[in-house]
Chain A
Amino acid sequence: MNVRSLVARDVKAAAPFGRLAAGLRAFRPADLLLPLALPAAVLLAWQVTAVNGWLPVQILPPPAMVLSTLHDLIRDGDIAANLKISLWRISLGFALGAGSGLVLGTLLGVSKTLDDYLGPVFKALAQIPSLGWVPVLILIFGLAEALKIVIIAKACLVPTVLATAQGIRNIPRHYLEVARVLRLSGRTRLFKLLIPATLPTVFSGLRLALSHAWIALIVVEMLAAQEGVGYMMVWGRTLFQIDIVIAGMLVIGVIGLAMDTGLARIARRLRGWAPDHG
Chain B
Amino acid sequence: MSQQAAVQAGEATLIIRGVSKTYRVDDRPLSVLRNIALDIEPGEFVSVVGASGCGKSTLLRLIIGLDTDYDGDILLDGRRIEGPGPERGIVFQEPRLFPWLTVEDNVALGLDASGTAPRQRERSVAENIALVGLTGFEKAYPHQLSGGMAQRAAIARALVNRPEIQLLDEPLGALDSLTRAYLQKELLRIWQQERVTVIMVTHDVEEAVFLSDKVVVMEPRPGRIGAVIPIELAHPRDRAAPDFIARKERILRELQH
Contact = CB atoms under 8 A, between A and B. Distances in A.
Interface of A: 3, 6-7, 10-12, 15, 174-175, 177-178, 180-185, 188, 192-193, 196-197, 271, 273-275
Given A12-B144, A15-B144, A192-B101, A181 B179 contact: no
Nearest to A276: B143
A273 B100 contact: yes
A184 B141 contact: no
B190 interface: no
A12 B96 contact: no
B75 interface: no
Contacts of B233: none
A199 to B, nearest CB: 8
Interface residues of B, number: 36
Contacts of A196: 98, 100-101
A192 B102 CA distance: 11
B92 to A, nearest CB: 7
B136 A7 contact: yes
A180 B100 contact: no
B113 A185 contact: yes
Contacts of B92: 174, 177-178
Contact of B98 (A6, A7, A15, A193): A193
A275 B100 CA distance: 10
B112 A7 contact: no
B90 interface: yes
Given A12-B144, A177-B66, A273-B141, A183 B86 contact: yes
Interface of B: 64-66, 84-86, 89-90, 92, 94, 96, 98-102, 105, 109-110, 112-113, 133-134, 136-137, 141, 143-146, 148-149, 157, 161, 179, 182
A271 B112 CA distance: 23
Contacts of B112: 182-185, 188
Contact of B143 (A185, A192, A275): A275
Contacts of A10: 145-146, 148-149, 179
Contacts of B133: 3, 6-7
Nearest to A8: B136
A3 to B, nearest CB: 5
A11 B150 CA distance: 10
Contact of A12 (B94, B99, B146, B182): B146
CB-based closest 6 A-B pairs: A196-B100, A183-B113, A275-B143, A10-B146, A273-B100, A10-B149
Contacts of A6: 133, 182
Contacts of A273: 99-102, 141, 143
Nearest to A184: B112
Contacts of B157: 182
A216 B94 CA distance: 46
A181 B90 contact: yes
A95 to B, nearest CB: 26
Contact of A174 (B64, B94, B143): B94
Contacts of A192: 98, 100-101, 105, 109
Given A7-B137, A182-B161, A196-B100, 18 more contacts: A3-B133, A7-B133, A10-B145, A10-B146, A10-B179, A174-B96, A178-B98, A180-B84, A182-B109, A182-B110, A183-B85, A183-B86, A183-B113, A188-B112, A273-B100, A273-B141, A273-B143, A274-B100
Contacts of A193: 98
Nearest to A183: B113
Contacts of A197: 100
Contacts of A184: 109, 112-113
A175 B96 contact: yes
Given A273-B141, A275-B143, A181 B84 contact: yes
A178 B153 CA distance: 14
B198 to A, nearest CB: 16
B98 A182 contact: no
Nearest to B141: A273
Contacts of A275: 141, 143-144
Nearest to B61: A177
A7 B84 contact: no
